[in-house]
Amino acid sequence: MQYHLSDFDYECPSHLIAQHPASARDDSRLMVVHGADIEHRTFRDLAGLIRKGDLLVINTSRVIPARLVGVRENGRAAEVLLVRAEPDGTWLAMVHPGGKLKKGRTVSFGADARVTVEDVLGGGLRRVSLSGTVDWRELMDSFGNVPLPPYITRAPETDDDERYQTVYAREDGSIAAPTAGLHFTLETLSGIRTVGAAVAEIVLHVGPGTFKPVQTENLHDHRMHSEWFSLPLATAVALERTRKAGGRVWAVGTTVARVLETVGCETDPTERSGWTDLFIRPAYQFRAVDCLITNFHLPGSTLLMLACAFGGYENVMHAYREAVSANYRFYSYGDAMLIL
């Protein structure tokens, strides 16, 4: 069956969109989906669902304070969301108001920094440069905020600096959190290792490709922005060892799933890095992932499409309707789903 954008719509009442994280990371609920069967648990039950010999793969990318609010030449506010550093020292960015920030326009940040639009690119992107007495890192430290998604309608708070990061985040580069990992605590990871499962790492820096809305009814016409990833040799070896021993590979989030599926099941494990624009949707055939931990995603998003490809369209859409009925919390700060 060929699916279209409208097939991935569902009604999510606004009161179910989580505006704050759970009181503790592993206090979030966990819906376990196994085919058509659904079980309701809490996230701290996760270690009891993982078997000895399984491998849990996490994304250690760290969210940068990429949302910068400054002023245009006319004194009105403007926002620059930094997306990716370029080799020439410029950045790719998304800006607001987009219609006003054309080539040559500037946004000032205090007296010591000015960002200039050098080029207007496709997909809502700009190439911007920085002039003044500070570098990009200093600019983000002084004027940047955690780039909370727009459906979190409140202003960023101090707690977001910690809670919108995973406990294992290390490598700066994402403009949105790999949200499935937000539920993990160090104790959760310790419990997983205690049962005899292993934990391995990849990096995928989350960019516009992960959350760019699908705007074409025909899914074949949607193009993902490329995102940079790295799969270390130790992870490649762990993947091969797990598969040979009959263990299951658990992807913590859609970002991990996309990296593992981009790399595939290589018989000669090797370190890999590069760019991926892999768009996973039904009826994609997974090769490298056996279990998927993910959040509840926006209607019509590529993230929901990936979950449907993994768990089966009817099963996952039924699970979403059940989640609404059972008052699960949705989106980045919401509850989790485990698809077996």
Give CA–CA dist 83/94, Å, rounded: 7
Q: Are residues 39 and 73 in the same domain?
A: no
pLDDT band at 331 (very low <50, low <70, confident <90, very high): very high
Tokens of 1: 């069956």
Q: Are residues 33 and 71 in the same domain?
A: no
**How far is CA 282 from its chain centroid?**
19
- 202 inside domain: yes
Q: Which of 115, 145, 175 is the last residue of a domain?
A: 145
Per residue, the 3-state secondary structure of the chain, as one string, reads: CCCEHHHHCCCCCHHHECCCCCCCHHHCEEEEEECCEEEEEEHHHHHHHCCCCCEEEEECEEECCCEEEEECCCCCEEEEEEEEECCCCCEEEEEECCCCCCCCCEEEECCCEEEEEEEECCCCCEEEEEEECCCHHHHHHHHEECCCCCCCCCCCCCCHHHHCCCCCCCEEEECCCCHHHHHCCHHHHHHHHHCCCEEEEEEECCCHHHHCCCCCCEHHHCCCCCEEEEECHHHHHHHHHHHHHCCCEEEECHHHHHHHHHHCCCCCCCCEEEEECCCCCCCCCCCCCCEEEEECCCCCCHHHHHHHHHHCHHHHHHHHHHHHHCCCCECCCCCEEEEC
Q: What pLDDT score was predicted for residue 111?
A: 87
- 180 inside domain: yes
Q: Are residues 23 and 138 in the same domain?
A: no
- 216 inside domain: yes
CB 1 within 8 A of CB 312: no
Q: Are residues 206 and 317 in the same domain?
A: yes
Q: Are residues 10 and 89 in the same domain?
A: no
Nearest to residue 292, comparing CAs of 312, 321, 262? 312
Q: What percent of the chain has pLDDT over 90?
A: 89
Degrees, nearest 5: CA angle 48-50-56: 135
- 155 inside domain: no
Residue 323 to residues 32, 82, 132, 198, 297, Cα–Cα distance (Å): 11, 34, 50, 30, 11
Q: Are residues 282 and 320 in the same domain?
A: yes
Q: What pLDDT score was predicted for residue 98?
A: 86
CB 29 within 8 A of CB 40: yes
Q: What pLDDT score was predicted for residue 224?
A: 87
Q: What pLDDT score was predicted for residue 303?
A: 97
pLDDT tens per residue, range 4-48? 999 999 999 999 999 999 999 999 999 999 999 999 999 999 999
- 152 inside domain: no
- 150 inside domain: no
Q: Are residues 106 and 223 in the same domain?
A: no
pLDDT tens per residue, range 152-184? 999 889 999 999 999 999 999 999 999 999 999
Q: What pLDDT score was predicted for residue 225?
A: 85
> What residues have CB less than 8 Å from 189, skipping those under 6 apart?
56, 167, 168, 199
Q: What pLDDT score was predicted for residue 122?
A: 79
Q: Are residues 46 and 166 in the same domain?
A: yes
Q: What pLDDT score was predicted for residue 208?
A: 79
- 58 inside domain: yes
Sheet holding 55-59, edge to edge: 37-42, 29-34, 336-339, 291-295, 249-252, 55-59, 198-204, 227-231, 272-276
**What is the bridge-based pairing of β-strands 61-63 and 171-174?**
parallel
List the domain range (segments joined by +) for residue 273.
Answer: 5-63+160-339
What radius of gyration do the chain's Cα atoms show? Answer: 20
Residue 281 to residues 217, 262, 277, 285, Cα–Cα distance (Å): 13, 14, 13, 9
Q: What pLDDT score was predicted for residue 134?
A: 92
Give CA–CA dist 257/56, Å, rounded: 11
Q: Are residues 235 and 265 in the same domain?
A: yes
pLDDT band at 73 (very low <50, low <70, confident <90, very high): very high
Stretch 81-110: mean pLDDT, rounded?
93
pLDDT band at 99 (very low <50, low <70, confident <90, very high): confident
pLDDT band at 323 (very low <50, low <70, confident <90, very high): very high
Residue 6 to residues 210, 295, 300, 310, Cα–Cα distance (Å): 19, 20, 7, 19
- 134 inside domain: yes
pLDDT tens per residue, range 235-278? 999 999 999 999 999 999 999 999 999 998 766 789 999 999 99
Instruction: Give phi and psi for 79, each to the nearest 5.
Output: -120, 135
pLDDT tens per residue, range 105-160? 999 999 889 999 999 997 789 999 999 889 999 999 999 999 999 899 998 899 99
Stretch 199-227: mean pLDDT, rounded?
89
Q: Are residues 179 and 124 in the same domain?
A: no
CATH number at residue 36: 3.40.1780.10
Q: Quick check: pTM over 0.85?
A: yes
Quote the mean pLDDT of the chain.
95
pLDDT band at 296 (very low <50, low <70, confident <90, very high): very high
Residue 211 pLDDT > 80, yes or no? no
| Count of domains forming the chain | 2
